[in-house]
Amino acid sequence: MRRAVLWDIDHTLIETRGVGRELYQAAFERVTGVPFRRAASVSGSTEFRIFSETLTLHGVPAAGELTMAYAKALAALHVERYAELRERGRALPGARNGLVALDKKGYLQTVVTGNLRAVAVIKLQAFSLDDLLNLQVGAFAEDGEDREELVRVAMTRTAADRAVLIGDTLSDVAAARANGVAVIGVASGRSSVEELRSAGADLTLADLTDLDEVIAAVDRLTTV
């Protein structure tokens, strides 16, 4: 039986401590020439949806060419400011230990993220987490408009018999539930333990620091 763990990235495995938002704003201004004034909601969203909603907030007509230019600019800015990303951001407590332990147990681990693929890779490399994840079978912003679609893509690519999604947002919980995938909610982002539990998470954790608890939860939810 193939068992998979589908990880969210931002505020589940890592946090950029403001660098990500700065790069997002800089990329928007670079490709539109419009001063950034308002931010669309980013929690649990996907990169292209965030950009589309931000264009609307600034009165800029959406266009395919503009979206592609934005994607290239955002990836380029992450490369340009890679050292700053490493210095200011961090892997969240328990993240690497959890990845290592699950890898030793033979789990296929990948990501389900609203990040662009190139940006996701850079973020994971910055905090030395990429070597523990099979990114070839993950799902990224290029693969769908919403989280539900991204989970479907990842389940197809992993060909997993059992899987659990680990994420910090209500959107992560909803997307997993919509696809019949078990979900662990981690309150390391904006959603509380109570909110994640009420949304339908199979298990909620304050963070990833209790390694035994994380491993036991993944084992239980992928053997039901």
Task: State residue 91's pLDDT score.
Answer: 98
Query: Looking at the DSSP assignment, which residues form a beta bridge with residue 139?
Result: 112
Residues β-bridged to residue 122: none
The Cβ-side half-sphere exposure at 3, using a 13 Å CA radius, reads: 16
Distance of CA 41 to the CA centre of its chain: 15
Residues 6 or more apart in contact with residue 25 via CB below 8 angstroms: 36, 39
Q: Would you write out the chain's pLDDT as a tens digit for each of its 224 residues? A: 899 999 999 999 999 999 999 999 999 999 999 999 988 887 778 899 999 999 999 999 988 899 999 999 999 999 999 999 999 999 999 999 999 999 999 999 999 999 999 999 999 999 999 999 999 999 999 999 899 999 999 999 999 999 999 999 999 999 999 999 999 999 999 999 999 999 999 999 999 999 999 999 999 999 96
Q: d(Cα 133, Cα 135) in Å, to the nearest integer? A: 6
Q: Strand 108-111 and strand 14-15: pairing? A: unpaired
CA dist 214 and 25 (Å) reads 35
What's the CA gap between 112 and 94, in Å, rounded?
19
Tens digit of each residue's pLDDT (9 = 90 or more) over 124-170: 999 999 999 999 999 999 999 899 999 999 999 999 999 999 999 99
C-alpha span between 96 and 100 (Å, rounded) = 6
CA–CA separation, 5 vs 160, rounded Å? Answer: 9
Are 193 and 199 in contact by the 8 Å Cβ rule? The answer is no
Residue 157: φ, ψ to 5°: -70, -35
Three-class HEC string of 43-59: CCCCHHHHHHHHHHHCC
Is the whole-model pTM more than 0.75? yes
Residue ranges of domains in the chain:
3-15+90-221, 19-86
Token readout for 50 is 């965030």
**CATH of span 3-15+90-221:** 3.40.50.1000
HSE of 103 in the Cβ direction (CA atoms, 13 Å)? 14
